[in-house]
Amino acid sequence: MGSHAKCGPTEDRVIELMQLTEATRLAQGYAPAWIVDMARPLLNVYVPVENQMLGIKPGSAVVGRESVRDPDAITVYFEGGIYNQRDSSDFDWRLLHAAGRCLENYPTVAKMTVGPGQLLYVGTYDYDTRQLDVDDQATLDAWIAQWKPGRW
Q: Do 79 and 102 touch, CB atoms closer than 8 A? A: no
46 in any annotated domain: yes
Handedness of CA 139, 75, 108, 124 (dihedral sign): negative
Same domain? For 45 and 34 the reply is: no
152 in any annotated domain: no
Same domain? For 23 and 51 the reply is: no
* Structural domain range at position 124: 40-144
Same domain? For 13 and 54 the reply is: no
- Looking at the structure of the chain, the number of domains it has is 2
pTM of the entire predicted model: 0.71
Going from the C-alpha of 135 to that of each of 45, 60, 118, 120, 146, the distances in angstroms are 10, 18, 18, 11, 19
pLDDT in tens, the chain (152 residues): 444 444 555 666 656 555 555 556 555 555 555 454 455 789 999 999 987 778 899 999 999 988 888 889 999 999 988 877 877 788 999 999 999 999 998 889 999 999 989 999 999 999 999 999 999 999 999 999 999 887 76
20 in any annotated domain: yes
105 in any annotated domain: yes
Same domain? For 46 and 28 the reply is: no
Same domain? For 48 and 32 the reply is: no
